[in-house]
Chain A
Amino acid sequence: MTETLFEKIWNSHVVVERENEPSLIYIDRHLIHEVTSPQAFDGLRVNNRKVRRPDLTVATIDHNVPTTDRSLPMIDETSSTQIKTLEQNCQDFGIKLFGINDPNQGIVHVIGPQLGITLPGSTIVCGDSHTSTQGAFGAFAFGIGTSEVEHTLATQTLWLEKPKTFEIIATGKRKNSFAVTSKDIILSIIKQIGTDGGTGHVLEYHGDAISDLSMEQRMTICNMSIEAGSRAGLIAPDEKTFDYLNNRKFTPKNYDELVDDWKNNLMSDANSKFDKSFTIDVEKIEPQVSWGTNPAMVSDVTSKVPTPEEFGHNNEIQIESAKKALSYMDLKPDTAIVDIPIDRVFIGSCTNARLEDLKDAAEIVKGKTVNSAVSAMVVPGSQMVKLQAEELGLDKIFKDANFEWRESGCSMCLGMNPDILKPGERCASTSNRNFEGRQGSGGRTHLVSPVMAAASAIAGHFVDVREWC
């Protein structure tokens, strides 16, 4: 019988299976951060339970760390309590923590791959939905809630209903592969399949246009899979994957052996059956800009803000939600995307704050200056990304252009720390969610790629970055 990649990973992790019931699935990697873990540890303590496999568990602090000077006392007391609590919990339960001053600290989904903790063919969970990022390595990686964090800590397993499979085939070659990025590919996909297109399914991406992408670009695609409603995205590992993970801090000792095994096993069999399928030709894709309040409300940069009817076709609910979105975003239909002015630029988040993202953005920024009406910041995805960028002199390029250069963390992706939009401010953001109030109450988010964000910062409004390179 033929199997998809997802089915192979699933089958090799089943501990208990009964008819018409969820299966008990073994978890190979459990990543933890300060916001969704405190009650889970509290639950363990109350019931006198231990962490079953501290050696498969690792923690960091990312959601509410300050990205300014870390030696200053924290502004928000509850955030600082959450951070101290995680430190104590890790100490009490014997879990390795990359704390606030650790060179390995960073956004949890950025450091997993960077440290070689992420492995092809494994199951990975974290109390955060964008865990899907690590699916780019051919792992089944997904977000969980606080009760499930506690369950995983205690048992290293989870009861799961088996998801269905959905293949996304990306064909063709991008026309300008510097200006049209993997962010534009995934935004185009979500625009077409909708924010619930992947519900109940694991998305597996393949095709020439996917093989063509670097690992960091693939992570952007898998990261946003959950914005299409699916819990996980998956890309079969190849030479690029194996090269990326080689010689990282926690790369396993018998790595070559593992690679041989992965090469033979970790792919969907020819003719394997998916429950759903969708094909996209990347040759036609332009840089994308979101105009609304969900990640399917997206337009080509050369087009206009749609009317609610154009967006919703004949679907009343969609038309209504587009009307609400336009009013929240303070946008009129038929406005050219390039005529929308911006106040803020945020280059950061687990979607687009890895080294390549920063390199590409710096390429655009080099020798130019941020528009005087705009305030712009770069928040590297991890301290290691920050250091590598500084070694390349990227910090200088950004600072010379009047970008702020920060310490790593989630920052303005969700505004749990002091980095937030003021009501009414309009932001070009490389993050993944443009929900109402996501980056600060009343703030307006436009999702774009790092090069689009960089060019817009200079221009003061959205621009077609293809004309810049």
Chain B
Amino acid sequence: MKPFSKIISIITPFDKANVDTDQIIPKQFLKLITKSGFGKFLFYDWRFNHDGQKKTDFILNDSYYQDSQILVTNENFGCGSSREHAVWALKDFGFDVIISPSFADIFYSNCFKNGVLPIILDIQNIKKLLQFKDKVELDLHSQTIIFGSESITFEIDLHRKIRLLEGLDDIDLTLKEDDKIGIFEKNSSRISIFE
């Protein structure tokens, strides 16, 4: 994974609660064979009409937000089925940060597995961010979001923070034990299937 760096971006205000993973990525798109490529199906039923035309009144179809990397939304984001595809779709669409008053558990941990930063903020700050139109500056290192003349700090588990900053995924961490795996294989040679 790429190390997580400072983000300067406008916010996509998405003032909805209880957004479930079936809305984030509907189940007819689960048969894809890559982690990438799910972005075009993100919020499919909200973004497109039955004839496949873009709905002009849906915020993600507004070109102003095209390069936004930050989604600000309302409580219980990512509830429902545990599919990892939901995070793949958000990431592929371009979101590196999701800010919400609360997240569903599995969705929250799936974010970290895929290099997406989920931030929990209180409702007051969410309201302020939903209104803010200019670019904000988000720094994971100092755990701050600077918007206009204001600045907020956010909480995050230290281990998870380090992993994002260093761009380490589960496999990278295991590969730090590579020598131990090698020693294990040497000491008790495994029986190859095709000797």
Task: Convert B160-173 into 0s and 1s, putting 1 for each residue whose CB lies closer than 8 angstroms to a CB of A.
Answer: 00000000011100
One of A46-54, A177-185, A200-208, A282-290 at the interface: A46-54
Cα(A28)–Cα(B193), bound, Å: 9
Say if the beta carbon of A418 comes within 8 Å of chain B.
Answer: no
Q: Using a CB-CB cutoff of 8 Å, which residues 8-67 of chain A contact chain B?
A: 12, 15-16, 24, 26, 28-29, 38-39, 42-43, 46-47, 49, 52-53, 55-58
Q: Report whether B184 and A15 are in contact in the complex, using a CB–CB cutoff of 8 Å.
A: yes
Cα(A78)–Cα(B30), bound, Å: 10
Of the candidates A38, A43, A56, A81, the one whose C-beta lies within 8 Å of that of B193 is A56
Q: How far is the CB of A290 from chain B (nearest CB, A)?
A: 25
Q: How far is the CB of A20 from chain B (nearest CB, A)?
A: 14
Say if the beta carbon of A157 comes within 8 Å of chain B.
Answer: yes
Q: Report whether A26 and B190 are in contact in the complex, using a CB–CB cutoff of 8 Å.
A: yes
Q: How far is the CB of A64 from chain B (nearest CB, A)?
A: 9
Q: Using a CB-CB cutoff of 8 Å, which residues 30-55 of chain B contact chain A?
A: 31-36
A-B contact count (CB 8 A): 88
Given A12-B188, A156-B181: A250 and B193 within 8 A (CB)?
A: yes
Say if the beta carbon of A154 comes within 8 Å of chain B.
Answer: yes
Task: Convert A125-163 into 0s and 1s, putting 1 for each residue whose CB lies closer than 8 angstroms to a CB of B.
Answer: 000000000000000000001110011001111010000
Q: List residues of chain A with CB within 8 A of the CB of B34.
A: 38-39, 42
Say if the beta carbon of A313 comes within 8 Å of chain B.
Answer: no
Q: Report whether A15 and B191 are in contact in the complex, using a CB–CB cutoff of 8 Å.
A: no
Q: List residues of chain A with CB within 8 A of the CB of B88.
A: 39
Q: Report whether B190 and A119 are in contact in the complex, using a CB–CB cutoff of 8 Å.
A: no
Say if the beta carbon of A307 comes within 8 Å of chain B.
Answer: no
Cα(A58)–Cα(B192), bound, Å: 11
Chain A residue at minimum C-beta to C-beta distance from B1: A47
Q: Report whether A147 and B181 are in contact in the complex, using a CB–CB cutoff of 8 Å.
A: no
Q: How far is the CB of A365 from chain B (nearest CB, A)?
A: 36
Q: Report whether A85 and B33 are in contact in the complex, using a CB–CB cutoff of 8 Å.
A: yes
Q: List residues of chain A with CB within 8 A of the CB of B177.
A: 15-16, 24, 157
Q: How far is the CB of A377 from chain B (nearest CB, A)?
A: 25
Q: Report whether A42 and B35 are in contact in the complex, using a CB–CB cutoff of 8 Å.
A: yes
Q: How far is the CB of A194 from chain B (nearest CB, A)?
A: 23
Q: Report whether A29 and B33 are in contact in the complex, using a CB–CB cutoff of 8 Å.
A: no
Say if the beta carbon of A442 comes within 8 Å of chain B.
Answer: no
Say if the beta carbon of B66 comes within 8 Å of chain A.
Answer: no
Q: How far is the CB of B3 from chain A (nearest CB, A)?
A: 13
Q: Report whether A81 and B171 are in contact in the complex, using a CB–CB cutoff of 8 Å.
A: no
Q: How far is the CB of B110 from chain A (nearest CB, A)?
A: 9
Cα(A250)–Cα(B191), bound, Å: 11
Given A42-B35, A49-B171, A147-B113: A15 and B180 within 8 A (CB)?
A: yes
Q: How far is the CB of B28 from chain A (nearest CB, A)?
A: 9
Cα(A86)–Cα(B170), bound, Å: 24
Q: List residues of chain B with CB within 8 A of the CB of A197.
A: none
Chain A residue at minimum C-beta to C-beta distance from B194: A55
* Max chain A C-beta neighbours (<10 A), residue from B32, B88, B184, B190: B190
Q: How far is the CB of A29 from chain B (nearest CB, A)?
A: 7
Q: List residues of chain B with CB within 8 A of the CB of A16.
A: 177, 180
Number of residues of chain A lying within 8 A (CB) of chain B: 43
Say if the beta carbon of B195 comes within 8 Å of chain A.
Answer: yes
Q: How far is the CB of B183 from chain A (nearest CB, A)?
A: 8
Q: List residues of chain A with CB within 8 A of the CB of B191.
A: 28, 119, 122, 252, 258
Q: Report whether A252 and B33 are in contact in the complex, using a CB–CB cutoff of 8 Å.
A: no
Cα(A49)–Cα(B171), bound, Å: 10
* Max chain A C-beta neighbours (<10 A), residue from B35, B88, B178: B35
Q: Report whether A150 and B171 are in contact in the complex, using a CB–CB cutoff of 8 Å.
A: yes
Say if the beta carbon of B175 comes within 8 Å of chain A.
Answer: yes
Q: How far is the CB of B105 from chain A (nearest CB, A)?
A: 15
Say if the beta carbon of B84 comes within 8 Å of chain A.
Answer: yes
Given A15-B184, A26-B181, A156-B181: A42 and B113 within 8 A (CB)?
A: no
Q: How far is the CB of A86 from chain B (nearest CB, A)?
A: 9
Q: Report whether B84 and A155 are in contact in the complex, using a CB–CB cutoff of 8 Å.
A: no
Say if the beta carbon of B174 comes within 8 Å of chain A.
Answer: yes
Chain A residue at minimum C-beta to C-beta distance from B172: A47
Given A12-B188, A119-B191: A39 and B35 within 8 A (CB)?
A: yes
Of the candidates A53, A56, A151, the one whose C-beta lies within 8 Å of that of B171 is A151
Chain A residue at minimum C-beta to C-beta distance from B171: A154
Chain A residue at minimum C-beta to C-beta distance from B190: A28
Say if the beta carbon of A226 comes within 8 Å of chain B.
Answer: no
Say if the beta carbon of A96 comes within 8 Å of chain B.
Answer: yes
Q: Report whether A53 and B174 are in contact in the complex, using a CB–CB cutoff of 8 Å.
A: no
Say if the beta carbon of A82 comes within 8 Å of chain B.
Answer: yes
Q: List residues of chain A with CB within 8 A of the CB of B113.
A: 147
Given A96-B193, A147-B84: A46 and B35 within 8 A (CB)?
A: yes
Q: List residues of chain A with CB within 8 A of the CB of B33.
A: 38-39, 42, 81-82, 85
Q: Report whether A56 and B170 are in contact in the complex, using a CB–CB cutoff of 8 Å.
A: no
Of the candidates B1, B35, B181, B188, the one whose C-beta lies within 8 Å of that of A157 is B181
User: What 10 pairs across the A-B complex have the smallest Cβ distances?
Assistant: A38-B33, A78-B31, A55-B192, A85-B33, A42-B34, A15-B184, A155-B174, A39-B35, A154-B171, A252-B191
Q: Other than the known A15-B184, A250-B194, what 12 A-B pairs have Cβ atoms closer than 8 Å?
A: A15-B180, A42-B33, A49-B171, A55-B192, A55-B193, A82-B31, A85-B33, A145-B84, A147-B170, A151-B171, A156-B181, A157-B177
Q: Which residues of A contact B (CB under 8 A)?
A: 12, 15-16, 24, 26, 28-29, 38-39, 42-43, 46-47, 49, 52-53, 55-58, 78-79, 81-82, 85, 96, 117, 119, 122, 145-147, 150-151, 154-157, 159, 250, 252-253, 258
29 contacts between A and B (CB under 8 A): A16-B177, A24-B177, A24-B180, A26-B181, A26-B184, A26-B190, A38-B32, A38-B33, A38-B34, A43-B35, A46-B35, A47-B169, A52-B181, A55-B192, A55-B193, A56-B190, A58-B193, A81-B31, A82-B31, A82-B33, A146-B84, A151-B171, A151-B174, A157-B177, A157-B181, A250-B194, A252-B191, A252-B195, A258-B191
